[in-house]
Amino acid sequence: MEDQFYDTDEPIVALATAWSESALAVIRTSGKGSVELFAKVFTNPKSILSSTGFTMHYGYITDQSRGKKIDQVTAAVYRSPKSYTGQDGVEIFCHGSLPGIESIITILKKAGFREAAPGEFTMRAFLNGKMDLSQAEAVAEIVGSKSKQAHSLALNRLSGGVLEKIDLIKKKLVDLMGLIEVQLDYPDDEIGGDTDIPLDSLLDAEKEIINLINTYRVGKIFHEGVAVALAGGTNAGKSSLFNLFLKEDRSIVSDINGTTRDYIESWITLEGIPIRLFDTAGLRDAEHPIEVEGIRRSEEIIKNASLVLYIIDGSTGMTAEDKEIFSKYKNDPDYLFIWNKIDKLSAGVPDGVIPVSAVTSEGFSDLENIINSRLTGMEISGSELMIDSLRQKGLLERAARSLRSVKLSLENSISLDAVAMDLKETLDALGEITGEVTSEDILNNIFSGFCVGK
């Protein structure tokens, strides 16, 4: 991005809503003099100029040079520092006609506004102290969220969840740094194991950083979804369960062994997690070449799935093949074993196998909960703090690495100077997450991924 990106006072303009025909559209401006510039093209300039902020104004945008009305609008005036960017600004609510929007933006550019770069509004908000970097990233995550849960998790980050957590961790480490510096000032004292440096708070901080790193995997699941495959012998009830998950009669069900010959896939959402669910061909020694190929493809799907739901026909009990697979994978976190057809008389359900009936739905909601906690490794209520930014994950890993060397140095009585250096590196990495320590490159990287108008 060009240097002008860093002229953070310049008045800018951009369409904040989608570029498509709609009832209303919002055009946003921000920067020094933007209220005065807007007044030049508005039929009621006095009301705009005298506004002290947070007021709405009704009128027309006009093309002065041709004395022509462009659109009837309402305009919201913001005065620094009480605005999204912290600057003066006007938000224009106009009709959502594409030629109309284009004309308004052209008029505003003629009046002195420059078109905003992607993320420029949010970048100004960050630079003016309206939010930290993790919150700025959450703005983009909210706009891009694909499920209610993903949205609520991002909202949690926007309201400062990451910032608060990082501040708490940092506080512990800053206290530790203080103790170390005191000891450094008294070089005659013994160092290492005999120092009064409390390892507890260091271990706490390390644990919290690692927990936060681990949430990235879960955050990603909510964002991108996971593949889950139904597997098992023929007639076990895979297609029946597939249909139950979809709440739709999608896959053919019959009592003929080998009904499903090719795999079938569909997207479902389970507690906000997007899941690509596969129904597969029943596993057996098939003879027909088409079925053989179907089984080969199904095995491929099963191998690549994040989670395999292995279905056993509970009305007949485990076949020899079921037994073999059960003993091989029963402790594998990527497998769940399901005892289907519990509505029919069947032998006792073996330990570790989940009882359900695809016909009566008995046990199905329990199964959904188990799948959910298996996929996320935790109970998600939507209020948790999860990170969804690869940048933040990388920095947390850097912080964890340097903290590990702090720990090792303290344990092995290595010089306190080295300890202090590693601790500073940890604090720097944490500071970069919230944006206390940043370079222009980092900012460009983050904000260029935004849409224009944000």
Q: Which does 298 bind (CB under 5 to 8 A by kind): Mg ion, ligand GTP, none?
A: none
The string of DSSP letters for 349-411 reads: PPTTEEE--TTT-TTHHHHHHHHHHHHHSS---S-S-----HHHHHHHHHHHHHHHHHHHHHH
Angle at alpha carbon of residue 250, lines to 246 and 252, rounded to 5°: 130
How far apart are alpha carbons 231 and 305 in whole angstroms? Answer: 11
Indicate which single residue of 154, 197, 212, 236 sits in contact with ligand GTP (rule: CB under 6 A). 236
The reply on whether position 53 binds ligand GTP by CB under 6 A is: no
Beta carbons within 8 Å of 353's beta carbon, 6+ residues apart:
312, 326, 337, 338, 339
Report the nearest approach of Mg ion to the CB of residue 313 (Å): 12
**CA atoms of 256 and 302, how far apart (whole Å):** 22
Binding mask 337-356 for ligand GTP (x = CB under 6 A): ---xx-xx------------
Gap between the Cα atoms of 360 and 125, Å rounded: 54
Compute and round to an integer the Cα radius of gyration of the chain: 30
Residue 44 binding target from ligand GTP, Mg ion, none, CB below 5 to 8 Å by type:
none
Instruction: Based on the shown chain and the rule CB under 6 A, indicate whether residue 433 belongs to the binding site for ligand GTP.
Output: no
Q: Is 357 in the site for ligand GTP (CB under 6 A)?
A: yes
Q: Which of 407, 422, 414, 406 is nearest to 192 (CA)?
A: 414
Nearer to ligand GTP, 100 or 294 (CB): 294
Contact between 237 and ligand GTP by CB under 6 A: the answer reads: yes
> Which of ligand GTP, Mg ion, none does residue 215 bind (CB under 5 to 8 Å by kind)?
none
Residue 170 interacting entry, from Mg ion, ligand GTP, none, C-beta within 5 to 8 Å by type: none
Nearer to Mg ion, 259 or 319 (CB): 259
CB atoms within 10 A of CB 158: 18
441 binds, among ligand GTP, Mg ion, none (CB under 5 to 8 A by kind): none
Interface with ligand GTP in residues 243-272 (CB under 6 A): 253-255, 257-260
Q: How far is the CB of 263 from ligand GTP (least distance, A)?
A: 10
Report how far residue 23's alpha carbon sits from residue 187's, in angstroms, rounded to the nearest whole number. 72
By CB under 6 A, name the one of 12, 48, 125, 358 that touches ligand GTP: 358
State the nearest-atom distance from the C-beta of 315 to ligand GTP, in Å: 7
* Per-residue tokens: 283: 């596993």
By CB under 6 A, name the one of 28, 151, 238, 398 that touches ligand GTP. Answer: 238
Task: Please give the span between the terminal C-alpha atoms of the chain, in angstroms, as a whole number.
Answer: 16
Hey, which residues between 269 and 288 contact ligand GTP (CB under 6 A)?
A: 282
Q: How far is the CB of 346 from ligand GTP (least distance, A)?
A: 10
φ/ψ of residue 177, rounded to 5:
-60, -40
- Smallest gap from Cβ 384 to ligand GTP, in A, equals 34
Query: Toward ligand GTP, which CB reaches closer, 156 or 319?
Result: 319
Provide the minimum distance between the beta carbon of 204 and Mg ion in the complex, in angstroms, as a whole number.
Answer: 51
Query: Which of ligand GTP, Mg ion, none sits in contact with 237, Cβ below 5 to 8 A by type?
Result: ligand GTP
Least gap, CB of 333 to ligand GTP (angstroms):
24
Member of 227, 359, 421, 452 binding ligand GTP (CB under 6 A): 359
Q: Which of 51, 135, 240, 426 is close enough to bind ligand GTP by CB under 6 A? A: 240
Q: Tell me 42's DSSP state.
A: B
Token look-up 């500071």 returns 431
Min dist. Cβ of residue 371 to ligand GTP (A): 17
Kindly list the distances between the CA atom of residue 108 and the CA atoms of 30, 105, 210, 409, 432, in Å, as whole numbers in the listed order: 12, 5, 49, 60, 36
Q: Is the peptide bond before 333 cis (omega within 30 degrees of 0)?
A: no
Residue nearer to ligand GTP on the CB measure, 236 or 429: 236
For residues 374 and 308, is the Cβ–Cβ distance under 8 A? Answer: no
Which of ligand GTP, Mg ion, none is residue 255 near (CB under 5 to 8 Å by kind)? ligand GTP
- Cβ proximity of 363 and 357 under 8 Å: yes
Measured CA to CA, the distance from residue 381 to residue 379 in angstroms comes to: 7
Q: Do 368 and 355 touch, CB atoms closer than 8 A?
A: no
Q: How far is the CB of 374 from ligand GTP (least distance, A)?
A: 21
Contact partner at residue 83 from ligand GTP, Mg ion, none, CB < 5 to 8 Å by partner kind:
none
Q: Does 234 bind ligand GTP (CB under 6 A)?
A: yes
**Which residues of this chain interact with Mg ion, rule CB under 5 A?**
238-239, 259-260
Nearer to ligand GTP, 235 or 434 (CB): 235
Residue 122 has which token pair? 């949010």
Residues that bind ligand GTP (CB under 6 A): 234-240, 253-255, 257-260, 282, 340-341, 343-344, 357-359
